[in-house]
Chain A
Amino acid sequence: MSTSKQKQYLFDKPRNVTRLLRGLYLVCAILLFLDFVLHRHISHNWENFPGFYSIFGFVACVLLVLIAKELRKVVMRKEDYYDVDE
């Protein structure tokens, strides 16, 4: 299997990855913008806050990952941790 003939796949090209990410940024910007344009039926007070769901989604995920990383310090063990006893 020669390296020169190896098939190029979709995300082997950095350009395609960049495109995908730019697409994501654009969609996020549009969605946030829509919050200010569209008339929404508010069913809860928090929703009055512009961009509530956007900010919540972002912050929630960052918190989730950061807390999970801390959790690792407490709960992570070697893969054979239970083998010793069994």
Chain B
Amino acid sequence: MWMSDLPAFVPFYLAAALVLVTRGWLRNLILLATPVLGGLHLWLAVEPGLSLTLPLSNLELTLYRTDRLSLLFGYLFHIATLIAVIFALHVRDTTQQVVGLLYAGSALGAVFAGDLLTLFIFWELLAITSVFFIWARQNRYSLRAGIRYLLFQVTSGMLLLAGTLIIYSQTNSLTFEHIGLNGIGSWLIFFAFGIKCAFPFLHNWLTDAYPEATPTGTVFLSAFTTKVAVYALARGFAGTEILVYIGAVMTCFPIFFAVIENDLRRVLAYSMINQVGFMVCGIGIGTALALNGAVAHAFTDVIFKGLLFMAMGAVLYRTGKMNGSDLGGLYKTMPKTAVLCIIGAASISAFPLFSGFVSKSMVMSAMLIEGYDTVWLMLLFASAGVFHHAGIKIPYFAFFAHDSGIRTREAPWNMLLAMTIAAVLCILIGSQPQFLYSLLPWQVDYWPYDMTHVLAQTQLLFFSALAFVWLNKQGLYPPELHSVNLDAEWVYRKLLPTTSRIVVQQLKHICDKICVGSDVVIQTCRQQFGRFPLANYHLAASWPTGSMVLWIAILLGGFLLLDSLG
């Protein structure tokens, strides 16, 4: 009784309602069964080319539309949900468990949305549901970070809605297909996607809020929001050249911040922008190979970035600490987590046989084919940099480096299981890429494992490692320090508050002066009036407002009476 045109988000929303009213093992069962059954349903029963429309007065919304592009993200989101749910199975927090399914369901709703209005609805639901993972940390930092996060996300939604309305008024169609940059409406949508994609200067919500979420919440967060945006960008703006340059900047600038950042989950957040940069580049190039590379990289990134966030989540869960300066030597007590983290690190660094290699190579190759030489060098620099800050720094400062003296226990079994699933997928995709390639939306003949390419990548990475060792031995490597690094958020967390405070103070000052001045004028007028003979006339005396109102009421009542009589 599979219903092939049952929209993929529906079971998630229903399950979320069930989770709300159940407890204990039954709730866990529902949490686990939803992504498993939903994923099987999508895999076995849903074909590309489905369309489910919902008439709404004179509009027709396409709630569910499947093609190879949306299906790939659909499979991915089911896998990601399953992994994240297993990772969070020990959590006894109804809010987070309900919101997890709602959030994942909204992501599914967004990638299967066939029109811009439906996309907007799920776009906003993504924002509203996900913020609870940040607030669930329940401290004042997370509260404020959550509000800032929500402001960015809602702004993105408003831009999307405005752009949608403009496009609808121009074309009389809401269909979500290729948009391209022409006209104000498309630019608004471009920026709406751009905010969620963490374009430079619009990126700070990510590095600000993700590290403030709960250990398990960040795993959910890392999987969906940015990847929905990558999907939307791939569908709406494939081949938009400006994206190549935006993507290139995204790959390069975060790695500098990642090197000096102390909070290891914030390092991962920066590295997330860097990875999304590769995808944005691929979308900008717009050839079949590049687009395949972009979406394949989104696929692999969700899994390896999820793995790294899980490893850090496990460390945070066990030690309560997340700063590189406070950690170290944890391989002694969390060896399994350490090994799994290293697998994630190898995957994000794109070591041959690990998943990042088979997806990133496509973008890099497409870039050379299309002749973007300089940008290719930037991406190569970023590739070396990824290894440096995510591949080495994360495992090194958490599990090795100096011994922090922390002796804790291995991560709980459910965390280990979730990380193991992710790690196995990383290696499976990396060593057997044909399975992933067969799912990609565009038909391209590509194989990453030729000798030249493998050698080049291995050299790049090993010599990056050598540089790390050399810098450490020379004492040149910047130590992990308790600090805050200024980023674009400085504008709205420091500059604007400070400026507005100064402006308000000045205005208040001016107001006070005006008040004093006007008081003098009024007093003088009174005195002058008091000397005047008319001042003794009793109507000139000041009357209470109440009596005036009373007299007016009596007067009006009289008029009314006369009117009704006449």
Chain A residues near B (Cβ < 8 Å): 7, 9-11, 21, 24-25, 27-28, 31-32, 34-35, 38, 40-44, 47, 51-62, 64-69, 71-72, 74-79, 81-82, 85-86
Known: A35-B455, A40-B451, A64-B388. A55 touches B476 (CB 8 A): no
CA gap between A14 and B257 in the complex, in Å: 32
* 13 chain-A/chain-B pairs, Cβ below 8 angstroms: A28-B463, A41-B450, A56-B380, A56-B463, A60-B380, A61-B463, A61-B468, A62-B470, A66-B476, A68-B257, A69-B476, A72-B260, A81-B486
Does chain A have a CB within 8 A of B259? yes
Interface set, chain B 230-264, CB cutoff 8 A to A: 255-257, 259-260
New A-B pairs, 13, CB < 8 Å, besides A35-B455, A60-B380: A34-B455, A38-B455, A43-B365, A44-B368, A53-B455, A55-B463, A59-B467, A60-B467, A61-B468, A64-B388, A72-B485, A76-B260, A81-B484
Q: Contact at B452–A41, with CB atoms within 8 Å? A: yes
How far is the CB of A27 from the nearest CB of chain B, in Å?
A: 6
Q: Contact at B452–A44, with CB atoms within 8 Å? A: no
Does chain A have a CB within 8 A of B497? yes
Contact of A10 among B331, B467, B481 (CB under 8 A): B331
Known: A9-B332, A55-B463. A75 touches B487 (CB 8 A): yes
Contact of B483 among A7, A66, A78, A85 (CB under 8 A): A78
How far is the CB of A53 from the nearest CB of chain B, in Å?
A: 4
How far is the CB of A81 from the nearest CB of chain B, in Å?
A: 5
A-B contact count (CB 8 A): 156
Chain B facing A: main interface SS: helix
Contact of B464 among A40, A60, A76 (CB under 8 A): A60
Q: Contact at A62–B494, with CB atoms within 8 Å? A: no
Contacts of A55 in B (CB 8 A): 463
Measured as residues with beta carbon below 8 angstroms from the partner, the interface class of chain B is 35 or more
CA gap between A10 and B403 in the complex, in Å: 12
Which of B400, B459, B497 gathers most chain A CB within 10 Å?
B459
Output the nearest chain B residue to A55 by Cβ-Cβ distance.
B463
